[in-house]
Homo-oligomer: A and B are copies of this chain.
Amino acid sequence: MSTLRGNCLMGQSGGPTAVINSSICGVIQEAVKHAEIERIYGARHGILGVLNEDLIDLRREDPEEVELLKCTPAAALGSIRHKLPEPEQDSSEYKRIFQVFDAHDIRYFLYAGGNDSMDTINKISAYAAKVGYDLRAIGIPKTVDNDLAGIDHCPGYGSVAKHIAAITLGVGLDMRSVHLTDPVVIMEVMGRNAGWMTASSALARREEGDAPNLIYVPEAPWNRARFLDDVKRSHAEYGWCFIAVSVGTKDESGEYLAAQKGEFATDAFGHVQLGGAGPFLENLVREELGLKTRYVRLGPAERVAMHFASLTDRDEAYRLGAFAVQSVIEGVTARMVSLERKSNDPYECELTLADLEVVANEEKLIPREWLNEAGNDVTQSFLDYARPLIQGEVPTPIQDGLPRYARLRGVPVGKKLGAWRRSS
């Protein structure tokens, strides 16, 4: 394999996680070790930063701040949602990207993200081959959703799972305390098609009756009568019911709970019904069972809890960043760095490389057999899979009572091209 000298550019894309910055840190701290790489640049807001030639010089960051990226949530380089067009239909963005690459002698392109980001890497790799530009491009997986194919589990998931389980544990105790007046809690969790995050609430259970008592995910169709029976039974048996529900849970006709209105468009008091899967169930429980219900929706707060993130997850995110650099140096291109599980107990994962086509075009859902027959809980197989991913806590430096997160200086790289204007 030939040696390729030049500069390295990295970017972040899609929704942030607690540990995507650890991957960036892994990239930077590994890249400085390799003489083939001269400069290490970051694209501000992912591929948009490439298009806009909006790059920062990561070698000019304070090494202590770079180290702090290991315990800083969100996307320090800025993120974006942007899908590249098919190059046959519109090649203008590709032309611009390669003008920028060429102007800055970018030979290594590392992109951290989910399916769409892997699609970006895939398209850019193919275009590079087509135009004969010597580029090694690699994807670094991240997503709280854990819906990436070609990988055992996705960096970012372990930390969100740990956070959701911790909140479930705490709110579950809170519910026990006040269940004589407030017996039902509905926790709505992100996830449009995959229920991995919602399912992780099950890790909080230690004893019979512990929260969550019911789990509804998009992988198992929801049924109204069965749901009301489920809640009634839990309330009768324990005196309470904690329900974890995915935003994207659907009924048997495939309609999102969040989209349902009908008789609950206004409640008995004439109040307008809340939207979302959680508020829909909240109204149903109140109207049909007469039980007082509290509603929790962490939303983006699910994925930023570095103050209780998983060390296992953090370390894997870091190692994947470093492994991405090692891989491109060794000549790998057009792949995603990945994890292959060797064993649950003791937990062991190996670093591997995955096919971008698979990652870009498939969506990994919870296997149906990891959900119980009634479709309101997970099975032991899920717990065995997920439990190792939440182990360990990330030591976070504290300043004045709050986490001290990294702040990058963001020294701009001098522009060599004119401003980009979308050709259309």
Interface residues in chain A, defined as those with a beta carbon under 8 Å from any beta carbon in chain B: 12, 15-16, 45, 48, 72-76, 78-81, 162, 165-167, 169-171, 173-178, 180-181, 185, 187, 203-204, 207, 261, 265, 271-276, 279, 294-301, 303-308, 310, 387, 390-393, 398, 400-403, 405, 407
Contact = CB atoms under 8 A, between A and B. Distances in A.
A298 to B, nearest CB: 7
Contacts of A403: 166, 169-170
B78 A176 contact: yes
Question: Could you say which of A307, A390, A392 has the most chain B C-beta atoms within 10 Å of its C-beta?
Answer: A307
A203 B401 contact: yes
Contacts of A171: 300-301, 304
B170 A73 contact: yes
Contact of A391 (B265, B271, B400): B400
Contacts of A275: 271-274, 279
B274 A305 contact: no
Contacts of A166: 305, 307, 402-403
29 contacts: A15-B178, A16-B177, A72-B173, A74-B170, A74-B173, A74-B176, A74-B177, A78-B177, A79-B177, A80-B180, A162-B402, A165-B402, A167-B305, A169-B402, A169-B405, A174-B300, A174-B304, A175-B300, A185-B300, A203-B401, A261-B272, A271-B275, A274-B274, A295-B297, A295-B299, A296-B300, A310-B401, A390-B402, A391-B400
A347 to B, nearest CB: 11
Nearest to A188: B297
B75 A177 contact: yes
A133 B261 CA distance: 58
Contacts of A204: 402
A249 to B, nearest CB: 18
A76 to B, nearest CB: 8
Nearest to A169: B402
Question: Could you say which of A80, A170, A279, A300 has the most chain B C-beta atoms within 10 Å of its C-beta?
Answer: A170
A181 to B, nearest CB: 5
A294 B299 contact: yes
Contacts of A303: 174
A187 to B, nearest CB: 8
A187 B298 CA distance: 9
Contacts of A308: 307-308
A208 B78 CA distance: 18
B45 A180 contact: yes
Contact of A301 (B203, B296, B391): B296
A81 to B, nearest CB: 5
A282 to B, nearest CB: 10
B300 A181 contact: no
Contacts of A178: 15-16, 75, 79-81
Question: Could you say which of A12, A173, A310, A398 has the most chain B C-beta atoms within 10 Å of its C-beta?
Answer: A173
Contacts of A73: 170, 173-174
Contact of A48 (B74, B180, B402): B180
A396 to B, nearest CB: 9
A302 to B, nearest CB: 9
**Nearest 8 A/B pairs, CB to CB:** A170-B304, A74-B173, A75-B177, A390-B401, A307-B308, A296-B299, A74-B174, A74-B177
